Structure 1
Amino acid sequence: MRRLLLALPFALLPLAAAHADHHEDHEAHGSLGAHEHGVATLNVALDAQALEIALESPAMNLLGFEHAASSAEDQARVAAARAQLEQPLALFGLPAAAGCSVSAKDLRSPLFGGPAEKHEHGDDDHAAAHESEHSDIDAGYKLSCSHPEALEGLDLGVFFKAFPATQKLKVQLIGPNGQQGAELTPSNSRLQL
């Protein structure tokens, strides 16, 4: 399943290129991989009973800042965001009827602290400067769903309410109906699987 999720961006590359070309005149940043405040990427793969979800977002969208959390208020924001990200069943609006359980999760950001969370640069000053400019938060989830037929879609309304600075989710999906791309917003927060 991990290979399926890792292959997702490559499988959807023609769709992404067509989408970028189509919106080139309407958006200043047509790149799907750029660090763009207000925009996050969500990759979803459903294969039989296995559901994988990968979120990539600028920290600004989830925390309201991208610098190291030095104040008590910033540290509380980081802890609150991390606690919300630890609850993927609620955050991604998975229906209870699908019987999904989390088998693995991986949250990464230089802002979460810890030696494993730092960028791997030879120069610590360069790493600190890079982190102060742009910090991301990546979250990966592996879920097992006993009744995947009940997974008709994901309702990301809770996600948008939890992280109101996120204005758009660029979604890439591989599921029972093939591959597709979508853009979700707070007013259009349902992803059909």
Structure 2
Amino acid sequence: MAKVSATAASALASLAILVALPALAEQAEHRQLGPHVHGQGTLDIAIDGNKIEMELVAPGMDIVGFEHVATTDDQKAAVEKAKAKLTDVLNVFKLPVAAKCKADAANVESRKETHQPGEKDDDDDKPGEPQHSEFHATYTITCEAPENVTGLETVYFSDFAGGQLLNVNVTTPKGQTQAQMTRAKPSLDLTGVM
């Protein structure tokens, strides 16, 4: 019976972390990015047991070099190429080999930037008014040895010329941590967060 209740507690903790991810992303965007800042993206990471959930939100300008919704064939091809790169999460965000991680799921979208409450609604865009696009990626990763998840390195900045900074929010059963990854410091120390 104790084993069932420990499993149930772990499942509830996982669910709480997953439910908190979108709220953390929105809170981080309001606090650190505002509605739209070129060069800056947000990476939310939730770690519970052997599961890692990640969510990346970045302006289209950072990823493909333009901020409007793709209209030409070349722009659409650039978006598809970027989506393919971002889908390979363990290439973009490298976890320690000793953690024996594998990607379970990856979903990458390019979409019109979502406006915050109080801003004009996307549906009210006037003809000729610029529209901003953003990339939104979600990932699920399983690690056989999660105790070895002691850091994270990224090639995000070398793969995407416009990216300058990622505001990172890490949530684990031990609590929440905020950090930044930059072109000059494309790594994150996760020692002690597990």
Is the pair's TM-score, using the shorter chain for normalization, greater than 0.5? Answer: yes
Matches within 5 A, 1:43-192: 43-110=44-111, 126=124, 132-156=130-154, 158-175=155-172, 178-192=175-189
**Paired amino acid for 2:35:** A
CA displacement at 1:31 relative to structure 2: 4.0
Please say which of residues 94-103 and 2-11 is displaced more in the overlay: 2-11
Q: Which has the larger radius of gyration?
A: 2
Provide the C-alpha distance between the structure 2 equivalents of 1:69 and 1:98, rounded to a whole number of angstroms.
Answer: 38
Give the Cα separation in 1 of the matches to 2:179 and 2:102: 25
1:105 Cα deviation (Å)?
A: 1.9
The aligned amino acid for 1:86 is T
SS at match of 1:133: coil
TM-aligned CA distance change 1:109 to 1:49, over 3 Å: same
Unaligned segments of structure 1, at least 5 residues: 17-28, 112-122
* Distance in structure 1 (CA, Å) of the matches to 2:129 and 2:64: 14
| Shift in CA distance, 34/52, structure 1 to aligned 2, threshold 3 Å | same
Q: CA deviation at 1:38?
A: 0.5
Aligned to 2:58, what secondary structure does the other structure show?
A: strand
Q: Give the count of matched residue pairs.
A: 169
Q: 1:40 Cα shift? A: 0.2
Q: Is the 8 A contact 1:110 1:131 kept in 2?
A: no
C-alpha distance in structure 1 between counterparts of 2:43 and 2:88, whole Å: 16
CA RMSD of aligned residues (A): 3.2
Cα separation, partners in 2 of 1:166 and 1:2, compared to 1, 3 Å: farther
